[in-house]
Amino acid sequence: MSSKFDSNAATLSRFVMSQTNDHDLVILLNALAISCKLITSAVQRAGVAKLYGLAGEVNSTGDDQKKLDVLSNDMMINALIHSGVCSVLVSEENEEPIIVPPAYSGKFCVAFDPLDGSSNIDCNVSVGTIFSVYERKPGSHGSVDDLLRSGAHCICAGYVVYSSAVELVFTFRGGDVHGFCLDSTIGEFVHTREKMMFPADGGKRIYSCNEGNAVHWDDPIQEAVEHFKTAEQPYTARYVGSMVADIHRTILYGGIYLYPADAKAKKGKLRLLYEGIPMAMIIEQAGGIASTGMFEGKIQRVLDLTPNEIHAKCPIIMGGKRDVQVVYDQYAKHGVNVPSL
């Protein structure tokens, strides 16, 4: 079979330049892409390079750190600092924000989870990287306050899924969602998915949640999941446990992903700055709904939340309108005011 070569490949850098004409943004996305290529290499060689197992440390949110977590984090921090366009970095793996030295400082502030779902890494299940990008405030030289803002201020959000193929999915504020596949033959992310959207008819009936927590959920969430299982057209359960993999499937196939607040984790488990906000921006701009479910007394939109600290948490109910409506209907039965979709 003859190989097909593209003499005019639509690479990530070219796409960003054509969309924004912002050289700094091209440099930033290039730095993120380089770190994700390095992480790809580390993930693929983890067994051979003896990178499986624990590093003997705990990260900012209390998870045991894997060797690959630490390596991936170092790769991202080094790439972003030396890009010359960042002033503040926030990582899931670091308790405190990283202030970029003045010699390298630029206009962007980036929050990221370098290796999401890494509890799955030792058994070779999909993992990913998630990031959100803000611009520092006018007059600021870069402080944590530049990041402690709602999703309305996020200018770019994305994730990378490391699996049988490596895909980068991202969006600019107010724009479409686009997918790029890593072509290992040229070492570049190439534009492969244009204007990603939830299936217009709602797509496959899939619900995705950790039912091991069901005993702690509030009644409407329990009732919604029971509905998914017993509906006239019952839903299929799919839960990888890597947020990136579960969200990627939800956008492409349809369905709903839930990690609600519960009696045990009243603010949910997922982090707002580098999980909730970037995924909510992508979900909404792909035509889906990104809700908190019941959170602090009311149902809210994830992108309206303002983090009060860099590792703030939020509950998440994300999916197509058809399926999020099922959850809202259960809350309405309990007398809760629900937004109209």
Q: Which pLDDT tens digit goes with each residue over 210-233?
A: 999 999 999 999 999 999 999 999
Could you give the 3-state DSSP secondary structure of residue 22? coil
What is the pTM (predicted TM-score) of this model?
0.94
CB contact burial 113-151 (16+ within 10 A = b; e otherwise): bbbbbbebbeeeebbbbbbbbbbbeeeeebeeebbbbeb
Helix (H) or strand (E) holding 82: none
Distant-in-sequence, close-in-space partners of 295: CB < 8 Å, separation ≥ 6: 261, 267, 268, 314, 315
For 30-42, the pLDDT digits (tens) are 999 999 999 999 8
> Using CA atoms in the order 166, 291, 311, 175, what is the torsion angle rounded to 10 degrees?
50
- What per-residue confidence (pLDDT) applies to 101? 96
CB 220 within 8 A of CB 39: no
For 253-265, the pLDDT digits (tens) are 999 999 999 999 9
- What per-residue confidence (pLDDT) applies to 2? 47
Q: Judging by beta carbons within 10 Å of its beta carbon (0-12, 13-18, 19+), is residue 63 exposed, middle or buried?
A: middle
- Per the prediction, the chain carries an average pLDDT of 93
Fold classified for 206-334: D-Maltodextrin-Binding Protein; domain 2 (3.40.190)
CB contact burial 226-244 (16+ within 10 A = b; e otherwise): ebbeeeeeebeebbbebbb
Task: Walk along the chain (341 residues) and give the pLDDT tens digit of each residue.
Answer: 445 777 788 999 999 999 999 999 999 999 999 999 999 998 888 767 666 666 656 666 656 566 888 899 999 999 999 999 999 999 999 999 999 999 999 999 999 999 998 888 788 889 999 999 999 999 999 999 999 999 999 999 999 999 999 999 999 999 999 999 999 999 999 999 999 999 999 999 999 999 999 999 999 999 999 999 999 999 999 999 999 999 999 999 999 999 999 999 999 999 999 999 999 999 999 999 999 999 999 999 999 999 999 999 999 999 999 999 999 999 999 999 999 98
- What per-residue confidence (pLDDT) applies to 1? 47
- What is the C-alpha separation between 230 and 228, in angstroms, rounded? 6
- Is 2.40.50.100 the CATH classification of the domain at 12-193? no
Q: Which phi and psi angles does 18 have, rounded to 5°?
A: -70, -30
User: Domain extents for the chain?
Assistant: 12-193, 206-334
Q: Which residues are catalytic?
A: 63, 69, 92-93, 113, 115-116, 275
First to last CA, the chain: 49
- What is the C-alpha separation between 226 and 271, in angstroms, rounded? 27
